[in-house]
Structure 1
Amino acid sequence: MPELRVGERLWSVAAGSNLLDALNQNGATVPYSCRAGNCHACLVQCVRGLPADNRPDALSAVQRQDGWRLACQCQVIEDLQVHTFDPLTDGRPAQVEALDWLSDNLLRLRLIPQRPLRYSAGQHLVLWIGHIARPYSLASLPEEDRFLEFHLDCRQPGEFVDAVQKLQIGDSIRLGELRGGALHYDPDWHDRPLWLLAAGSGLGPLFGVLREALRQNHQGAIRVIHLAHDAREHYLAKPLAALAAQRENLSVELWTAADSAAALAQLRLVSRQTLALVCGSTASVDAFAKRLYLAGLPRNQLLADVFLSRS
């Protein structure tokens, strides 16, 4: 059986074991979100030995040469020595500036990093409270906000959301690795129709992307759709309405679960040049994507970020 080493710890695992599971099940905390090789939250560095890799295309040649791998996409086939992120020595400190409930279930967390962080709208950042970690998408915009903002869905209990709710203003939190993510704004899209479709807290990163598009004076029509469980969960309704009042090319639609099937059925493309950014749970992203493809949207014009129901 292959042996896996992390720091001073050494244990045996079954050949072919998933590297992410082999690490987490033995106390070497590695955060993850999508388990599909897209969010890059589970990045680890192989110091000695290499695993079998299902997604060699997911990282750059330079990253791979330096031993970096996505643990969720790897199987242990030989002895491995792995470096995992240690929040105490590798993490960047940040201070809690605000904790606000935007709805019954949606908690807004704002952090002030000790050192400025360079990021783009829609990226992920791994947050650490002690040795509990979770990747979250940034809802803030670096050119406009002095803080880092995250929207946390707290409907389901879990280690991380439970820990967040115990934080106080001024408490310290550690920032892990900044990840790419699928969602972004490209200046080359300047004149094309842009659709931003979000479910639940998936609105967070798309709100950042929307503000970036407006900051760059996007000229094409922008359509924002937010799907929520009920009307009370449209937690950014007022800020979205304020932006729409300022920009003639921006429209906002607020859907609820009760009317989503009928609304989806009426979804029509006005142009095959449309770009669609979709974010939310697996079921909601799949439903949006299926309807967009049926409406004629080319597959390479849809960018999606899936939030798994982990807390």
Structure 2
Amino acid sequence: MPELCVGERCWTVPTGSNLLDALNEVGLNVPYSCRAGSCHACLVHCLDGQPLDALPEALALEKHARGWRLACQCRVVEDLHVALFDPLRDGVPAQVCALDWAGEVLRLRLRPERAVRYQAGQHMVLWHGAVARPYSLASLPGEDDFLEFHIDCQRPGAFCDKARGLQLGDVLRLGELRGGALHYDPDWQVRPLWLLATGTGLAPLWGILREALREGHQGEVRVVHVAQNSAGHYLAEPLLEMAGVKVELVLAQQLEEVLAGLRPSSRQTVALVCGAPGSVEQFARRLFIAGVPRGQVFADVFVEHA
């Protein structure tokens, strides 16, 4: 059986063992959320030996080449020495500079110790102590001097529970930056642009919308935001104040009716969709029925985290 080592600690595991499970079974408490290679909370550094990686494309080529792996996607097939991601050593410190509550949604703004290069629509792993969760960036590079995240705290969760106790001046750590499925392409400038979101799926679209307007988008811009109640439309005021943007604030019970009424003005329409899996699927299906080609619908599904 292969030997697995972390620091000076070594033990044998059955060949083919899931690396994340093998680490956590001995009490190392590697964080994770999705177990699907999406959240990137279970990042580890392989120092000697190589695991069998089921999803190497989940990491940037350069990072993968340096030995970083997602533990949930790896199986131990030979002797392996790994170092766990240490937010104090490997993460970027970021100070809480604003905390704005809108119902159960926390708009969290962080000012990192050093500049972080990112694009609107990307995700980043946030560390609060030993708890790590990925969140979409809602800020706009080149315009905001902070990183903004929208955290839905309506249900209990390890990160949400800690987020409720955050205060100005607290320091979190920034982990892996990921390229999300959503972005703004300047080539879309004259095409209709639809942004459809449920809940805090609005976060990445908020940054992308502002980028589109900054780039002088000339086509129709339409935003549809679905929430469980009116308090869930946490960006209603700034959205409605935007000139040239058609905004529809929809309650969840109205969604089917609204979807049935979707009529794109052009087959050139580009749609960006973000939110819970069921809602994203509903949006995508209706857009296809309404005549928007699948290749013009970009979706980002939010995985529910514990």
Normalised by the size of structure 2, how large is the TM-score?
0.91
Closer, same or farther in 2 for the Cα pair 1:121/1:25, shift >3 Å? Answer: farther
Does the aligned pair in 1 maintain the 2:124–2:177 contact within 8 Å? yes
Could you say if the C-alpha distance between residues 147 and 74 of structure 1 is closer, same or farther in structure 2, counting changes exceeding 3 Å? same
2:203 aligns with: 204
Q: In structure 2, how many angstroms separate the alpha carbons of the residues matched to 1:45 and 1:296?
A: 46
For the Cα contact (< 8 Å) 1:41–1:179, is it kept in 2? no
CA offsets per residue over residues 16-56 of structure 1, 9 Å max, x none? 33334444454445555554445555443322222223334
1:280 aligns to 2:279 (yes or no): no
Q: Which residue of 1 aligns with 2:185?
A: 186
1:302 aligns with 2:301: no
Whether the 8 Å contact between 1:31 and 1:135 is mirrored in structure 2 is no
Equivalent position amino acid for 2:231 in 1: R
- Equivalent residue of 2:95, what SS? strand
In structure 2, the CA distance between the partners of 1:115 and 1:207, relative to structure 1 (3 Å rule), is: same
User: Which runs of 5 or more structure 1 residues have no equivalent in the other structure?
Assistant: none
Distance 1:24 1:265 in 2: 47
CA deviations on 1:261-305 (whole Å, 9 max, x unpaired) are 111122233222222211111111121122222323322222222
Q: Aligned runs of 1:258-273 on 2, under 5 Å?
A: 258-273=253-268
Displacement of 1:67: 2.5
Is there any run of 5+ residues in structure 2 with no aligned partner, and where? none
Change (3 A) 1:197 1:87: same
Decide whether aligned partners of structure 1 residues 282 and 32 sit closer, same or farther in structure 2, where only a CA change above 3 A counts.
Answer: farther
Report the AA paired with residue 155 of structure 1: Q
Distance 1:43 1:282 in 2: 24
How far off is 1:128 after superposition?
A: 1.1
Task: Compute the displacement of 1:184 (Å).
Answer: 1.3
Q: Which residue of structure 2 aligns with residue 107 of structure 1?
A: 106
Per the alignment, residue 51 of structure 1 pairs with 51
- Residues 56 and 95 of structure 1: CA distance in aligned 2, closer, same or farther (over 3 Å): closer
Cα shift readout 1:246-266 (whole Å, capped 9, x = no counterpart): 22xx21111111110111122
Q: Which moved more, 1:74-83 or 1:226-235?
A: 74-83
Q: Deviations over 1:67-109 (max 9, x none)?
A: 2333333333333222332011112111111212112x11111
Distance 1:116 1:137 in 2: 17
The aligned counterpart of 2:212 is: 213
Which is further off, 188-197 or 72-81? 72-81
- Aligned pairs for 1:13-162 (under 5 A) are 13-32=13-32, 34-38=34-38, 40-103=40-103, 105-162=104-161
- Residue 216 of structure 1: how far off its partner (Å): 0.7
Report the Cα distance in structure 2 between the residues aligned to 1:6 and 1:234, rounded to whole angstroms. 46
Larger displacement relative to structure 2 (213-222 or 7-16): 7-16
Q: What amino acid sits opposite 1:268 in the alignment? A: R
The equivalent of 1:226 in structure 2 is 225
**Equivalent in the alignment of 1:255:** 250
Give aligned pairs, total: 306
Identity within the alignment, %: 63
- Provide the C-alpha distance between the structure 1 equivalents of 2:3 and 2:289, rounded to a whole number of angstroms: 49
Structure 2 contact 39–133 (Cα < 8 Å) conserved = no
Matched residue type, 1:7 = G
Distance 1:178 1:270, change over 3 A: same
1:292 aligned residue:
287
1:265 counterpart letter in structure 2: A
